[in-house]
Structures are given as C-alpha cells and as structure tokens.
Structure 1
C-alpha cells in the first residue's frame, strides 16, 4: 500500500514472572536474571508464575477485581499500564475514540467444584439428575461460552474507560498475532488513529495444564531452553498491551514513540505436510527482513512444542541473526505470547541494545552493536504462524 501510514508504539504495559512494567523487565533482562520457574507447585510440569502484583494500583475497586477471573485481572492491569505509559490514562476524550483489539481464551474452570462433582457423581444412583442440579447451582458457565472471551475487553472498558470500537479474537497464539495485526492495519490504512491491542494468560491453572498434558505437550521438569531442546510448552502467566498510534495523532498530543511497528504478518501452514511450517515461516521472516540485516535481531516466541519449535529453530538458524528466546525468559502465554514478545522487542529497540544471550541456547549469539530492528516470530503449538517487525522511530 503506497500511501500506508506509519504506526507508532506509544505505550506498553507488561506483566510477567519477571515483574511489572518496562523498567523492571529491562533490569531483569540486562542483569541476566535467571528465569523464574516453578517446578513443584504443578509437578511434574513447569510453570513461570506471575510476579507479585498489587492489582489495586490499576483496578482500584475490589468489586471489579472479585468478578474477574485471574487472566482478566492480568490483562486489565497490563492494559492500565499501557495507558499510563502512553500518557492517556483518564483522558476521556482520547479514550472515547481509542479502539481495542484483544486476544483472549475462554473462561477458567472452578477446580474445587469440578473435583467435588467428579468425586460425588460416582456415588449417585441417578448421576444425570445430580449433574443437572450441579449445573444449576454450582458450576460456573465455563464449559464453553465464547462470550466469556469478551469479558476482558469489557473489563478494560469498565475500569479504564476505553470506549472506542472493540474486537476480541480467539484462537490461541494466532489470536495474539491477529489482534496486533488488525490494530496495526487499521491505523496504517487511516481507518483508526489510536488503538489498544494485546492479550493475557493465566498459566497457574490445572485445567489448562491438563489439556497440554493430555496432548503430551506440557513441559516436564526439569526446565530446558525451548529452542535448543523443545520438549514441551513451559506456560507462563503474563499480559501485554500496546498503544498503537498514527504519528499525526501522537504528535498532536505531544506524545513520543517508543518504537515503530512496521509490519505484522499472519499465516497458517498445513501442519503435518512435510516442511510446510518452515516454508511459511521462512517466507514471512524474509518479508520482514526486507534484505536488511544490519542492527537486526530476532525475538522468538516459540512455544516449545517439539515439532513446530524445531521448524522455527531451523528457520532462525538459517538467518544467521542473533536470536533471543522470549519463552525461555517469561514462559509461553498462548494468546498473549506475541504481544509479550513484541513488547520486549520494542523495549530493546528503544534502548538500542540487545540483552545478553542465555546459556544453553546456541542460537543466542552475543550482539554488541546498535539494535535498530527486531523481528518477532511466533509459531503456534498447534497451528498458526506469525511475524512482526519493530524498528526505531527516528
């Protein structure tokens, strides 16, 4: 599109196992802090738990917090940090025109109720009647209702007053890619001026760990670097939201860019079809690279699922570019993973330098030059391939 506008990132909100906010993450990454890993709380599986967060700071009403599931609190908190970072928190005029694109999963299970039902149902002479009674009185509506995914956007709107258009995408890693892609595309095309995009995930829940375990995709302890040894998904609690804005809109309100979002691409290879994942990802990375390798690094949001991660690692190795594994540092947050990786990539680009490589990841080469571009790769554990490009905004 010849008349495509630039898209600036003017705000970032980030929470993960490394802490909250850009400063805490940059300090942890620069210091080479060991990943925060829990190998006992959900044994035998590996989880990156959320750092201690005082949710009151961004969600002041306890009543609002109580009616949210943990993943909604994580996302609403990260969204508030992003609005603060962009300097638009509480600005009703701007928030009233701020579009929102959210990546979200379904509702969380009530594990205590599920466990009690499974224990008691075997004792019932009429289990069907018993189950219907529990459905009416105890079970929360989380068997599967797609509208539950919209609750994150709804809570962000209620708590923070973001009342422009709203879109919610489901579909695991691909939904995170598409949430950013749609926000980017609308601003680039001139149909939106400012947007809040991102997602969140709560990894500290046994129902999702069970699903990964049944698929033989959950990482068993001990923890291992995902690109070097993809033996499973090390899920991590995290949330990331970014404020995307046209330069004209940002300049008019006196805002400076953190970085420039220069492209987002989403594809879906035919899994199980030979080298299809490698071919698709290779084409996307080449498009993002655009023949420029100077000052460029790759931030990988690899899932750790063996087959797709091996394909991702093969493509990254062929580029010869320095790689940093986001998943090794904060875990894998499904819908939130590409927004998290993009947030860290934009942070590094804004600093103009790349943090030190992680021991045990041979693709993580030292990089002493000035970082001016970062390519983010995200290959879904089951389907979907995504790539984004972030550059310095001069």
Structure 2
C-alpha cells in the first residue's frame, strides 16, 4: 500500500476540463446541475461512447502545425492542460512554467487504422512476401509510432505548446496511472522537491481500436445507455472522450503569487488488490479509507466507478458501508475516461468545494442522494475496471 500525506499544505489552484459535456468550469457546472449527458448509441454500435463536445482547438493550440502532428487524445489533453494553466493564472508566465513539474497519466496512444487495415487485407489475400510486415511498418508508420503512439507524446506536446519545462513524468497503467500521477506530484511538493505541478490525463474514447481492445475483455457497455449504478445485468463502461488537468502547488507558493485555491489536496493513497477472491476489492477500499485521515460528517464521495463487473459490485458494497455519505459517480455523466478518470474526480471535487455545494444526484439510484449542507471534505475514489484502487482526500479552504 502506498500513501502520500502532505505535511506541507497543498492547494489546487487550477482546473482544466474538456469533456463530452463541454469545456471550462461554468459549462461543466451547468451541465451537472441540469443532468445533461452526451451519449452516442449509434456511431459505434453496439458500443456506447460519450463523444467530445465541439472544441475550437485554436484557442489553446494556436499553431495548426502543432495540431496536425497530434492525434485526438493529444489535442484533447493539451487543450485541457492549457485551460488548467489559464485557470491557475500561470499561462504564459515563463518563470513559473520553466520550473513547473508535470506528471501525466497516459495510455499507449492511437493506432493508425488505415495502415492496420491495409496490412491485414494484404495478408488475407496472400499478397505478402517474406519481411512484408516489417517493410510496411517501416514505410507506412510515422516515426513517432510503434504500432501505437508513444505515451509520453502528450507531455511533450504540453511542453512545446504551453512551455511547461520543469521535470516530466508519464505514468501508464489505466485508472491506476491517474492515481499515481496525483500521488507522486503531491509527494514531491510535500517533500519540498517541487513548488508547483501540472497533473492530469486525457483520452479519445471514439476509437474503434480501443473499443475492440476492451471488447476482448467484455468490458464495453452495449446496446443501451444506463447510469453506472444500473448496469449490473449488462455490466461495462461507456468510453468517454475528455481531458482533465489540475495545477497543484504549496500554499506558500500560491500565496506568494496571490493565487486563490479551489480546495486543499490532503492525502492520496493507492493499492492493488489481488482480486483472486470475492471481496478483495471491498477489503482494499476499506484499508485505503482508514489511511486517508479523519472523515467528518460534512463529507461526500465522488467515484470513478466504471460499471464493469465484478469491481463495481464490490465498490457498491463498500459504499453501502458508508451510506451516511452522499455519492456521485462520474462514469454516468462523462463515461469512462480511463487514465483521466481520477483527475476528473479531483477536478469536480475541488469545483464543488469551492462553490460550497455538491452537484445533484443522478436521480435514478438509491446510492446517490441529495446533500443539503455544504461539503467540507470530498473523498475521490478510483477503482480500476480490472486492477488498481486509489483514494484522495480533498478539503475546502476557509
């Protein structure tokens, strides 16, 4: 079990969101309060996805050449990162950006479907000489590809476009990568190794290759959309397109530059249950809960629960043991953004705490109930669809 509890007070001072619900904090807050869900049941039938809302990428990636050399997941992430820097008031500040750490959670990137299809077609027709595959890969793929794009290209593009040139780390590992990106960034600031960091991730869920990949494991939600808590008979996740980035920094650093906090990031804990026996996930979540710190009576939970089984049923069992706390599931509104799901939960937690109100429940499940009082704490939970568990404690700053 890994734990990062900060002795140095760490503030969340910037939030950047670009998802299926829109871009920016106001658009997301309005969508959450109006119960808007953007779902495509036909474009990738029978699989269901939450498509990215229309964006003008020029607003955060002004050079067309930069946009052209990125695939969609990089454009989404670079855009969201720009929004976070703007939100924190550091965009264009070369002195701060030059020493800002960056910790990104990223997948393997997108495949070139045209190349894949051509190779498979020629192979099926028997038109492939010895060495055919290597020849095609060397001549048809761009230098930045190794069947799929390099995971650290997102961090590279953020550095190029926005000038974030401090240390850079990229974590792979699906949902757990988002947890560890947050945990490591917090640990560095707590240890005095960093003053300010940009953390987050992105995903393009509108990818046939990704849908095929997860279909092999039986993870895709198909045929008809349902809220996360109502998928037990047809368990699975609906992939979502989106990027979520945050700027976190020590309180001293933020105050020195006159920055105001959205919330305080208190602690991040992570583990990986063996998942060999029923109850392993619930047991691990309970252990993580005890490591977070004191949870008061004005707390709430935001979870990235996927809808995939059996992990979601075990998470529900855990949540029922803490039924006194209101719960919200990001997967219902945003779909499952994989590496970005935990940063997304952190962003919504910070936004809710700064506004003194938790956004409304989905209205279709007994698990989600109204919260009349202002939350003082929000626990963000990330339970991977097949491995990895994590939690973060986020508190209001008075």
* Residue 131 (structure 1) shift: 2.3
| 1:166-245 pair list within 5 angstroms | 166-230=168-232, 231-245=235-249
Give the corresponding residue for 2:389.
Answer: 385
Decide whether aligned partners of structure 1 residues 62 and 291 sit closer, same or farther in structure 2, where only a CA change above 3 A counts: closer
SS in 1 for 2:229: coil
Give the corresponding residue for 2:284.
Answer: 280
SS in 1 for 2:265: strand
* Residue 109 (structure 1) shift: 0.9
Aligned mates of 2:225, 2:190 — CA distance in 1:
41
| 1:240-319 pair list within 5 angstroms | 240-288=244-292, 290-292=294-296, 294-319=297-322
Decide whether aligned partners of structure 1 residues 110 and 94 sit closer, same or farther in structure 2, where only a CA change above 3 A counts: same
CA contact (8 A) 2:269 2:291 kept: no
1:91 maps onto 2:98 in alignment: no
CA deviations 1:194-238 (Å, max 9, x no partner) are 000111111000111001111111111201122232410111001
1:31 maps onto 2:34 in alignment: yes
* Residue 268 (structure 1) shift: 0.4
CA deviations 1:61-103 (Å, max 9, x no partner) are 0000011111111110000000000000000001011001010
* Residue 313 (structure 1) shift: 1.2
Aligned mates of 2:217, 2:145 — CA distance in 1:
21
Aligned mates of 2:111, 2:205 — CA distance in 1:
13
Q: TM-score, normalised by structure 1?
A: 0.96
Aligned mates of 2:252, 2:315 — CA distance in 1:
37
* Residue 185 (structure 1) shift: 1.1
SS in 1 for 2:55: coil
CA deviations 1:123-173 (Å, max 9, x no partner) are 23445443233112213464457x811111110000000011111101111
Aligned mates of 2:276, 2:41 — CA distance in 1:
31
1:327 maps onto 2:359 in alignment: no
Decide whether aligned partners of structure 1 residues 291 and 176 sit closer, same or farther in structure 2, where only a CA change above 3 A counts: closer
SS in 2 for 1:377: strand
Decide whether aligned partners of structure 1 residues 128 and 295 sit closer, same or farther in structure 2, where only a CA change above 3 A counts: farther
Superposed CA RMSD = 1.6
1:15 maps onto 2:30 in alignment: no
1:347 maps onto 2:347 in alignment: no
CA deviations 1:38-80 (Å, max 9, x no partner) are 0100000010000001000000000000111111111100000
Decide whether aligned partners of structure 1 residues 291 and 371 sit closer, same or farther in structure 2, where only a CA change above 3 A counts: closer
1:357 maps onto 2:361 in alignment: yes
Decide whether aligned partners of structure 1 residues 131 and 265 sit closer, same or farther in structure 2, where only a CA change above 3 A counts: same
CA contact (8 A) 1:259 1:346 kept: yes
CA deviations 1:253-288 (Å, max 9, x no partner) are 111111111111110010122311110111212433
Aligned mates of 2:141, 2:328 — CA distance in 1:
42
CA contact (8 A) 2:60 2:83 kept: yes
Aligned mates of 1:305, 1:331 — CA distance in 2:
12
How many residues are matched?
Answer: 391
Q: TM-score, normalised by structure 2?
A: 0.95
* Residue 3 (structure 1) shift: 7.9
Give the corresponding residue for 1:136.
Answer: 138
Note the residue ranges of structure 1 that are not aligned, 5 or more in a row.
Answer: none
Aligned mates of 2:350, 2:14 — CA distance in 1:
10
CA contact (8 A) 2:111 2:147 kept: no
